[in-house]
Copies of this chain bind each other. A is one copy, B any other.
Amino acid sequence: MTSPKHTDFTETTISSKTVYRGNLLHVLEDEVQLPDGARSWREYVRHPGAVMMVPFLDRDTVLLVRQFRYPLGRHFLELPAGKIDRGEEPIATARRELREECGYAAGSWDHLATFHPCVGYSDERIELYLARELAEAGSAPDDGEFIETRPTALAQALAWVRDGTITDAKTVIGLLWADRFRDW
Question: CB within 8 Å of B: which residues of A?
Answer: 1-7, 9-11, 19-20, 22-25, 27, 29-30, 32, 34-36, 38, 41-46, 50, 66-72, 75-76, 78, 83, 102-104, 113-126, 136, 140, 144, 146-151, 158, 161-162, 164, 167-170, 172-173, 176-177, 179-181
Contacts and interface: CB of A to CB of B under 8 A. Distances in A.
Contacts of A69: 116, 119-120
Nearest to A140: B1
Given A70-B42, A72-B116, A117-B117, A27 B30 contact: no
A65 to B, nearest CB: 10
Contacts of A114: 164, 167
Given A9-B147, A162-B181, A176-B176, A123 B71 contact: yes
Given A136-B1, A167-B114, A119 B44 contact: no
Most interface-central of A25, A27, A76, A103 (chain B CB within 10 A): A25
Contacts of A2: 148-151
